[in-house]
Chains A and B, each alone.
Chain A
Amino acid sequence: MNFHDPASAAAAGTEPASPLEPARPPLIRFENVTKTFGSFTAISDLNLEIREHEFFSLLGPSGCGKTTMMRLLAGFEEVTSGRILLDGQDLTGIPANRRPINMMFQSYALFPHMSVAKNIGFGLKQDRWKKRDIQDRVDEMLALVQLEGFADRKPHQLSGGQMQRVALARSLAKKPKVLLLDEPLGALDKKLREETQFQLMDVQERLGLTFIIVTHDQDEAMTVSSRIAVMKAGKLLQTDTPARIYEHPASSYVADFIGNVNLINIELAGMDGGLALARWDGGTRLAIRPQPEDVLTPGARKTLVLRPEKIHVTKDRPAEAPNVNMVEGTVEEISYTGSASTFLVRLDGGMLIRAQEANRLLTSRREVDWNDRVWLSWRAGACVLVDE
């Protein structure tokens, strides 16, 4: 099971994660970084490389250490052990005000007593830029975030979205090597958030900067980033592209954290023509197309990761094929979300499976209804195995 493909190289962690991301030297390196606060370990022996021009997301539940990572990078906290390198230079002992890293704060942290222009020019003034140069850069930044004409406003005269853009302009004004964004869109409503996500991606691409974003919102991380690091309790669980995180999670925790998922405990039975065969509690036979890195020992217990949208819901029994899995059950619940409908199907063995179908037809013409007997089917290549 060891033919070479780009994905397995990415899993090894040295080569590009996808053809879209050409190889670049790492800009930031966390080397065995540990951070403790008293007896609490926020970051535990963590290694991570972030490349130049990446839009990198740190994703995890609150308290997982992602904000601490950011504060370590910004220089607000010092590592307890290990070190952080930027462009090969050890950042240990360099205070926040002398790091070429800027941060956009969750609360925006705009200085309330200064105008928008003064806020944006603040960092330049600290570096003793000439008045005229500051003025020019501030104008450039205002144009970048489309806030021309707002230079003389005070922060409290701005809407939330405008404050967010001023904060972005201020953190970009010094042209930092790295921009840190701490939950940058957390305070915006859904529609504005989506707009702003694209604006952020656009700015990042145009300026060619490295963005590191901290978020607990998986959709946001998936949308904006080129790579995501999923964190839990001070450790990195998986660092990969959004697609690989979603479709090839390294553990059931990652699978469960990102999106909806069915996690099914199975027992491996053997191999059959490139497909792994497995038994699932009722004895149902399953076919799974294994991944190159999978270690498949017959009798091993694994967890099957099956995304709802990969499952077909039909009233008629689908055609039998070696690479198609099917089970029968009763529709217990249907939740309609506009673009798609999610079906909760109770299998005869008692298990609840979540399946999702795009609403290609109007709901009035939907075939499947509550309490209908349905067949759930999915292809062997639509699911992956993780350790139990």
Chain B
Amino acid sequence: MIRRFNMFNLTSLTFGLAFLYLPLLLVVIYSFNDSRLVTVWGGFSTKWYGIVLNNDAYLEAAWITLRIAFVSATLATVLGTLSAVAMVRAGSFPGRTLFSGMIFAPLVMPEVVTGLSLLLLFVAIGLDRGFWTITIAHATFAMCYASVVISSRLASFDRSLEDAALDLGCTPFSAFRQVTLPVIAPAVISAWLLSFTLSLDDLVIATFTSGPGSTTLPMKLYSSVRLGVSPEINALSTMLIGIVTAGVITASLVNRRQERRRQQDHRAAAAAA
């Protein structure tokens, strides 16, 4: 926490932010460059955006990417919620430690390993690589993130709310649907947004698990860059940055609102005590 805004704090903040965001900023600035040359400023223009938006290959890749992100985020959120409930609620069951370790393992696993192992699996079971293999692969690793986000919320969830719902006549499932889910909804939404963004910008795993006709936008971008950086790539990247930023900001806003409400409740409870 910065208590006084002195020179040292200001300098370190500036350097930190510059280190993180200067490269991105350059991409954004040069996407509005009129010149064909990427590193020479030739005046302001939005023409590259027009070119990107008229490029069918890019549009198709973008459409595939969005569909994959949407489906895999939804899958990951459902699975993540289920595993979070099992982890937080089920107390001790045989293999709990193993299960919890396995949930978190993909978080630290190198993407190359995850991608390769999934590729081997898909080949082994004879699944044709394409839209669905990427979606499954993305759901697999995003589910871990979703599970972490949701279980941290569930851990602070007042169990007596569910007991109260049961007591008032709910079956366990309807108690979950009517009470637990609405209360943890903000965490579920931010888990979905996180999974969506993760899928959107993944290159490595998608490369391993894609097949003909299922080139995602990051893959398209990467292969184009190998032929030389063009201004339209800058424009495309800027749009991606925009979408991802919007996703992350929304997720954190949802989370913050939830946090504020929870603090309000705590204050009310403290006032009651």
- Chain A positions within 8 Å of B, measured between CB atoms, are 74-76, 95-98, 101-103, 105-107, 109, 111-113, 122-123, 126-127, 155-161, 163-164, 170-171, 174, 187-188
Contacts and interface: CB of A to CB of B under 8 A. Distances in A.
Contact of A122 (B158, B168, B268, B269): B168
Contacts, number: 86
A109 B169 contact: no
Contacts of B183: 111-113
Given A75-B166, A170-B164, 14 more contacts: A107-B158, A109-B160, A109-B164, A111-B161, A111-B164, A112-B183, A122-B165, A155-B268, A159-B268, A160-B268, A160-B271, A160-B272, A160-B273, A174-B168
A161 B165 CA distance: 21
Contacts of B168: 97, 102, 122-123, 126, 170, 174
Q: Is the interface of B mostly helix, strand, loop or mixed?
A: helix
B160 A107 contact: yes
6 contacts: A97-B168, A109-B160, A155-B265, A156-B265, A158-B268, A171-B167
Interface residues of B, number: 25
B260 to A, nearest CB: 11
A161 B167 contact: no
A163 B178 CA distance: 20
A172 to B, nearest CB: 11
A84 to B, nearest CB: 16
A187 B273 contact: yes
B163 A188 contact: no
A103 B169 contact: no
Q: Which 9 A-B pairs have the closest CB atoms?
A: A160-B272, A123-B168, A126-B169, A109-B164, A109-B160, A96-B166, A105-B160, A113-B182, A97-B169
B248 interface: no
Looking at B161, B164, B166, the one whose CB has the most chain A CB atoms below 10 A away is B164
A103 B272 contact: no
Contact of B158 (A109, A126, A157, A158): A109
Nearest to A105: B160
B264 interface: yes
B164 A163 contact: no
Contacts of B158: 107, 109
B179 interface: yes
Contacts of A170: 164, 168
Interface in B153-177: 158, 160-161, 163-171, 174
A159 B179 contact: no
B165 to A, nearest CB: 7
B261 interface: yes
Interface of B: 158, 160-161, 163-171, 174, 178-179, 182-183, 261, 264-265, 268-269, 271-273
Contacts of B171: 97
Given A95-B166, A97-B166, A163-B272, A126 B160 contact: no
B170 A97 contact: yes
A74 B174 CA distance: 18
Contacts of A187: 269, 272-273
B160 A106 contact: yes
Contacts of B169: 97-98, 123, 126-127, 174
Given A122-B165, A126-B168, A112 B273 contact: no
A17 to B, nearest CB: 29
B187 to A, nearest CB: 13
B261 A156 contact: yes
A95 B22 CA distance: 61
A111 B179 contact: yes
A317 B104 CA distance: 80
A188 to B, nearest CB: 7
A188 B164 CA distance: 20
B264 A96 contact: no
